[in-house]
A and B are shown apart, each in its own frame.
Chain A
Amino acid sequence: MRSITLSQAVNEAIAEEMRRDETVFLIGEDVAEAGTPFKVTSGLVEEFGTDRVIDTPIAEPGFMGLAVGAAMTGARPVVDLMFGDFLYLVMDQLCNQAAKTHYMSGGKLKVPLVLRTNLGATRRSAAQHSQSLQALVAHIPGLKVAMPSSAYEAKGLMKTAIRDDNPVVIFEDKLMYQDKALVPEEEYLIPFGEANVLREGDDVTLVGTSSMRQVCEKAAEILASEGISAEVIDPRTIVPLDEDTLLASARKTSRVIVVDEGHQSYGVTAEIAARINEKAFYHLDAPVIRMGAMDVPVPFSPALEDLTVPTPDGVAENARKLMSGEMIHAA
């Protein structure tokens, strides 16, 4: 199997779906000739032309609203939101319109729209271009939220998202665009709501979304060298969430650390931890631990920025504490 970058994987997914279904089109800032700042969509305008690869002015609410209308009337738009931080600009179009139209029209209207955007700090992009806002949209009923953790997931989840009749938000980690993974030449889709158990273990479960999967895998390596057997799970989509896989693992290991790059408070980690707590409580031998980004605006200073995100060493340290029965928080 060949190895391609996450950027190439997303490009392939969009191109394949555009070839398969002529109602699919791409819209956003700098998606055509520029191919986005991360060069994800390079080459698409050459193949599909400017009617289906549409550059817009710098007006996120405008093109997002346009795409919602297009989706309601039969098209399948893929909206490119250059930075996840710009979600704040399209909140009404996404959360009030796209998410609720199917419900409020009594099922008569569908909004088969994909909003692809990104997350992730440590790119030295400062507080307004470094946020991980998946919890913001995961909170809204009517939206699905996918968080690919490698090129393989990025392609399979994107194709599923484009074919889904509901609005889907996909967060790619902007630091992973050049990371390579094995991606099959032949077509494949990754269904939503199916977590991926990347590594089996008996002592502690590490749940990692998006690039936090790699953080958890590295932590598991560190722990393995110390005789601690960690299971690593990538939920792949947080809405819908594969509770069964998470709960089965929690029941097996009795200890869980949930890692996500969104801010720790009121975040994805809290939601997953709460569900495990509610549904696997009598199997837990330690509190479920959340590890998110520090509750501060992401610093521009590289030295400070690196301190705000979960690291393999930090995850391993918490796992050691759980194993030793040490209380991470006061009883």
Chain B
Amino acid sequence: MPHEVKMPQLGMTQDSGVIVAWLKAAGDAVSEGDALFEVETDKATMEVEAQTGGFLAGIRASEGEDVPVGDVIALIVDNEGEVTDHAAAPNTETAAPEQEPAAAEPGPEASDEQTPPAPEPAPPPKPGPNAAPTPATGKVLASPKAKRLALERGIDLAMLSAQGVSEPIHAADLPRAATGGHSILTASTTGAAMDALLASSDAADRTALFAAFARGAWRMIFDSEAGVAIRALDGTVTVTGADSAALTLVDLCGTRLTSYAPSAGGPTLTAARQGDGYALTLAFPEGALPMPQAAALLDDIAARVEDPIRQLL
């Protein structure tokens, strides 16, 4: 029984992905965990690994093709001799229960989708963003221009539809820009573990730790690397982790200040002392960072502050 390789859902509002490149050719031997292909979503480009070993056969989506999530794009067969048999196999709907999409982490995500989202005080090792509710199911009718602009501006059309914008969505229905109008999420954490970690070494830098936690959480939620811009109170900005920043960090811990609300720009994380613990604030434009992902991101950062060992997981 050939294993079906499907277009994985790598972001919760993603309904298709563009095959950037096949990293294996038809007939190649593949082992479980081998990078099969590169896929580009509206958020990032990433490699997708094989879920099983065998031989790659029946590639049905070529490079540059935009493939709906869940569509079978290739097969992995057990024997090399089967490769030719499946080279032009029809795209039949024969998904057996044991056949899983070749998502990077299909296990916990797939099962979490079945359960209602619940903020968990003792979260499992990998609480994916897909635990949050999906804003809309099915296809959103929108003009080609509206779809293109939404992609360019990072606007979620399904979210607009859920907010009552009538379909088909046209260009004029899109928010003009993803600036201003930030939503705010706050989190409170205990501080003992973090403070112990900082006390353990003179070299430990609180702000750098917050930035590292933010990058780790981002990787967890979005499966992609993000730079964090550390915005110091003297106005200087240092980008860490990557060339460009997806998130801005403002560390107020050494001051009496408690929060900061940016008037424009991308998601901004503020860290401040709150009694013995910490107060974390995430200000984000919902057009660029939908609420469910923002919530999952901040919760994951907070969990790392409370229990820094999670950063190693």
Contact = CB atoms under 8 A, between A and B. Distances in A.
Interface stretch (A131-139, A210-218, A282-290): A282-290
Interface of A: 254, 281-286, 325, 327, 331
Contacts of B170: 285-286, 325
Interface of A is mostly: loop
B146 interface: yes
B168 A283 contact: no
Interface of B: 141, 143-148, 168, 170-172
Contacts, number: 29
A53 B276 CA distance: 105
A254 B168 contact: no
Contacts of A254: 143, 145, 171
Main secondary structure, interface of B, reads: helix
A282 B168 contact: no
B141 A284 contact: no
7 residue pairs, one from A and one from B, having the closest CB atoms: A285-B145, A282-B148, A285-B143, A285-B171, A325-B170, A284-B144, A282-B144
Given A325-B168, A325-B170, A327-B168, A286 B141 contact: no
Contacts of B168: 325, 327, 331
21 contacts: A254-B143, A254-B145, A254-B171, A282-B144, A282-B145, A282-B148, A283-B145, A283-B148, A284-B144, A284-B145, A285-B143, A285-B145, A285-B170, A285-B172, A286-B143, A286-B170, A325-B168, A325-B170, A325-B172, A327-B168, A331-B141
B159 to A, nearest CB: 19
B144 A281 contact: yes
B213 to A, nearest CB: 39
Nearest to A284: B144
Given A282-B144, A284-B144, A285-B145, 10 more contacts: A281-B144, A282-B147, A283-B144, A285-B146, A285-B171, A286-B143, A325-B168, A325-B170, A331-B141, A331-B168
A283 B171 CA distance: 10
A282 B147 CA distance: 8
B193 to A, nearest CB: 50
A323 to B, nearest CB: 9
A184 to B, nearest CB: 41
A254 B171 CA distance: 9
Contacts of B172: 285, 325
A254 B147 CA distance: 13
A282 B146 CA distance: 8
Q: Counting chain A CB atoms within 10 Å of each CB, which of B144, B147, B171, B172 scores highest?
A: B144
B292 to A, nearest CB: 28
Residue of A282, A283, A325 contacting most chain B CB atoms (<10 Å):
A325
Contacts of A286: 143, 170
A290 to B, nearest CB: 18
Contacts of A283: 144-145, 148
B40 to A, nearest CB: 16
A269 to B, nearest CB: 20
B146 to A, nearest CB: 7
A285 B143 CA distance: 5
A120 B269 CA distance: 68
Contacts of A327: 168
B18 to A, nearest CB: 14
Instruction: With a 10 A CB-CB cut-off, give which of A254, A285, A286, A327 has the most chain B CB atoms.
Output: A285
Nearest to B173: A325
Nearest to B146: A285
Contacts of B145: 254, 282-285
Contacts of B141: 331
Contacts of B147: 282
Nearest to A331: B141
A146 to B, nearest CB: 32
A254 B144 CA distance: 10
A162 B80 CA distance: 66
A121 to B, nearest CB: 34
Contacts of B171: 254, 285
A256 to B, nearest CB: 12
A172 to B, nearest CB: 37
Contacts of B148: 282-283
Contacts of A281: 144
Contacts of A284: 143-145
Contacts of B146: 285
A281 to B, nearest CB: 5
A284 B171 CA distance: 9
